C-alpha cells in the first residue's frame, strides 16, 4: 500500500467517525445538555478529518506536524464529549452502546495519529 492510499484510507476512516457521531447525535433526547454535547461533538469529530486532509496541502514539515497534532487533539476532545453523552444518557441502552463504540474508535484514532506524529518526529 502506498502512502497516498494509506492517507486516503485514514481520511475515510476519520470521515466515517464523524458521520457515526452525527448518527449518535440524532438519537439523543432533546435536552439542554444534550444540545450542548451534540454541538461540541459534531465540531470536534468533524475537525479530525478536516485537519487531517489539510496535512496533504502543507508547505512545511512543521505545518504538517501541527495539523496532525490538531487532529489528535480533536479526537481526544471527541472522546470527552462521547463520554459525557454516554454518562448523561446512561439509561438509554442504544445511546450508551453507540457512545462506547465511538469512544473505542476515538481511542484508536488517537493511537494512529500519535504513531504518525512520532514517525514524523523521528525523521
What angle, rounded to 10 degrees, do the helices at 3-27 and 61-88 form?
30
Q: DSSP class of residue 70?
A: H
Give me 38's grid cell: 451534540
pTM > 0.75:
yes
Among 67, 60, 78, 91, smallest CA distance to 19 is for 78
Q: Which of 64, 98, 62, 63 is nearest to 83 (CA)?
A: 98
> In order of start, what are the domains of the chain with their CATH numbers?
3-122 (1.20.1440.60)
CA atoms within 13 A on the CB side of 21: 33
- pLDDT at position 1, please? 46
**Residue in the structure block whose three cell numbers are 445538555:** 33
Q: What pLDDT tens digit does each residue of the chain (123 aa) get?
A: 456 788 899 999 999 999 999 999 999 999 999 999 999 999 999 999 999 999 988 889 999 999 999 999 999 999 999 999 999 999 999 999 999 999 999 999 999 999 999 999 998
Burial degree of 15 (CB within 10 A; 0-12, 13-18, 19+): middle
Best CA proximity match to 103, nearest among 17, 30, 29, 33: 17
Q: At what angle do helices 93-122 and 61-88 cross, to 10 degrees?
A: 160
Amino acid at each position: 500500500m502506498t502512502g497516498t492510499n494509506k492517507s486516503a484510507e485514514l481520511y475515510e476512516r476519520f470521515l466515517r467517525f464523524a458521520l457515526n457521531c452525527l448518527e449518535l447525535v440524532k438519537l439523543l433526547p432533546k435536552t439542554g445538555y444534550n444540545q450542548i454535547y451534540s454541538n461540541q461533538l459534531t465540531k470536534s469529530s468533524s475537525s479530525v478529518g478536516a485537519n487531517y486532509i489539510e496535512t496533504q496541502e502543507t508547505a512545511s514539515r512543521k505545518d504538517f506536524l501541527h495539523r496532525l497534532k490538531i487532529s489528535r487533539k480533536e479526537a481526544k476532545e471527541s472522546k470527552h464529549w462521547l463520554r459525557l453523552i454516554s454518562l448523561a444518557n446512561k439509561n438509554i441502552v442504544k445511546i450508551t452502546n453507540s457512545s462506547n463504540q465511538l469512544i473505542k474508535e476515538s481511542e484508536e484514532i488517537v493511537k494512529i495519529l500519535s504513531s504518525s506524529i512520532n514517525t514524523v518526529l523521528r525523521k
